[in-house]
Amino acid sequence: MSTVATRRIGLSLGADLCWPACFEALVKRLDLALPIGKETVKFEVDRVTIEPFSLRQPVRYDVVLDRITHWYMPTREWVKKAIVHDDTYVLNNPWSIQSMEKHTTYAAMMRLGFPVPETWLVPPKSYEPKDDLQVTLQRYAKLFDLGAVGAKVGYPLFMKPYDGGAWVGVSKVDDEAQLRAAYEKSGTRVMHLQKAVAPFDLFVRGLGFGPQFTTFRYDAAAPLHARYVAGPANLSAEDTALMRDMTLTINAFFGWDFNSCEALRKDGVYHPIDFANACPDSQVTSLHYHFPWLVKAYVRWALFCAATKRKKRPNLDWEPFFEIARTDAPFREKLRRYGEIARKRFDEDRFNEFCAKHLAHFDDVANEFFSTPVAKEAVRAKVAALFPKHEVEPFTEYFWDKIQTWRRDDAAARAAKA
């Protein structure tokens, strides 16, 4: 006779409103009681609170979905303690998010052979005051010609913070005069100069969540609510596989359960330009049509990790990737082998078996849920938090209409496979 066991999933949140509400509602609707070994496993979901804690205090969660430690230190330190002291499985890796900024990811993927555009780091225009700053600069700071560096990188280029996100501090630079002007405004930020991929014929964002993967077309020139192009990306099977291997390789290399990879296609080559996004956009106000896919990916991976008591990897273990990188194989063959490592680390076969056995009805449940007042209220709540009052209803309807289009496309796609 099996015993009933409860797996607890904690949501560690900041400003998120829409996806947590949908996540909670979907888990409740599923009302799972899964036969796992000698246990009948059920699930509870609640939200992690911020309060004083003893470092010896047991953590009540089996899995924590973290969306705040990249910028809020009390939660970050609680999450670290939960992993090393209590063996809690946390999405994502707080140490990796803290230390693996864009600079590190560029360097690492260059070593693996990824076609990252030419990128230079330049010292900041100015510095925060420190006791030993002046003596250090006098002894070791080498005068350099910014224009000469720009010429080596090549124009057009982008100046952007080495650790940045959300397009903050990013400047497109077409010549030396613009470069010098942008640098004068950069303040204390340490900046990258990265050669633009131009002209390109496609901008895509790959999103990996465990072994799950999808692609979105992206229009950086559009308003925020329209940058993710609605509808399937319609990449070829070969290009989809390439973007999947790229994205999951990055994620597995840095220990990230979920992360996005932006790439520009030029002359048939996908150049990854931004892929240290281990807290990727999860809001309906930007994802709209693609929002249900993300919520479903959250739910599947969290349930799998909780039900199977998935263990956090104690280290990142880069050597298997470097061993492949040292071979003379063509890049696409190397990337395929990197992808095999990634899929193994994310337990792809075991995950697929779990979903087929225990979540076969989930697609139907989710499709129906995204037609309900509960789902629409989650959309409205997020819109109300971001938009002026007179725009709340129009934009709620705008995003809701995109989700209903997704529901029709999802149903049609699944019917065609049946």
pLDDT digits (tens, 9 = 90+) for 100-119: 888 999 999 999 999 999 99
* Among the listed residues 334, 365, 363, the one whose alpha carbon sits nearest the alpha carbon of residue 253: 334
Do residues 258 and 401 both lie within one domain? yes
**112 lies in a domain?**
no
Sign of the C-alpha dihedral computed for residues 32, 35, 36 and 41 taken in this order = positive
Question: What residues contact 151, with CB distance under 8 A and at least 6 apart?
Answer: 176
Q: Is the pLDDT of residue 176 over 70?
A: yes
- 408 and 342 in a single domain? The answer is yes
Confidence bin at 390 (pLDDT 50/70/90): very high
| 232 domain residue, yes or no | yes
Same domain (yes/no): 176, 288: no
Structural domains of the chain, count: 3
Q: Is the pLDDT of residue 310 over 90?
A: yes
Contact 100, 72 (CB under 8 A): no
Q: If pLDDT is split at 50, 70 and 90, which confidence band does 418 have?
A: confident
204 touches 341 (CB < 8 A): no
Residue 274 confidence (pLDDT) above 70: yes
pLDDT digits (tens, 9 = 90+) for 142-164: 999 999 999 999 999 999 999 87
Using the predicted structure, report yes or no on whether residue 220 has a pLDDT greater than 90: no
**Residue 272 maps to a domain:** yes
Name the domain boundary from 138, 166, 195. 195
- Which of the four pLDDT bands, split at 50, 70 and 90, describes residue 286? very high
User: What are 366's two structure tokens?
Assistant: 């989710």
Say if residue 96's pLDDT is above 70.
Answer: yes
**66 lies in a domain?**
yes
- Whether 176 and 221 map to the same domain: the answer is no
Classify residue 223: in a domain, yes or no. Answer: yes
Which CATH number goes with the domain that contains 13?
3.40.50
Which residue segment(s) compose the domain that 244 sits in?
203-417
CA distances 183 to 138, 146, 190, 253, Å, are 21, 9, 10, 32
Which is nearest to 24 in space by CA: 41, 57, 56, 47? 47
Is residue 85 pLDDT above 80, yes or no?
yes
Same domain, 207 and 329: yes
Total-model pTM? 0.95
Q: Which of 33, 67, 99 is the last residue of a domain?
A: 99
Q: What are the Cα distances from residue 310, in Å, to 30, 176, 313, 374?
A: 21, 52, 9, 31
The Cα 59–Cα 82 span in angstroms is 6
Q: Residue 397 burial (CB < 10 Å; 0-12/13-18/19+)?
A: middle
Position 68 scores a pLDDT of: 86
Same structural domain, 210 and 130:
no
Task: Clarify whether residues 212 and 297 are in a common domain.
Answer: yes
On whether the CB atoms of residues 78 and 22 are closer than 8 A, the answer is no
Q: How confident is the model at residue 166 (pLDDT cuts 50, 70, 90)?
A: low
d(CA 336, CA 329): 11
Least confident window among 12-16, 325-329, 408-412 = 12-16
* Residue 410 within a domain: yes
* Model confidence band, residue 165 (pLDDT cutoffs 50, 70, 90): low
Pair 64, 19 in one domain: yes
Give the residue carrying structure tokens 């009933």.
Answer: 4
Which tops the pLDDT comparison, 340 or 280?
Answer: 340
For 62-71, 177-186, 340-349, which range has the lowest pLDDT when averaged over its residues? 62-71
Mean pLDDT for the chain overall = 95
- The answer on pLDDT for 2 being more than 80 is no
Question: How many other C-beta atoms lie within 10 A of the C-beta of residue 34?
Answer: 19
Instruction: Quote the CA–CA distance of 48 and 65 in Å, as a whole number.
Output: 9
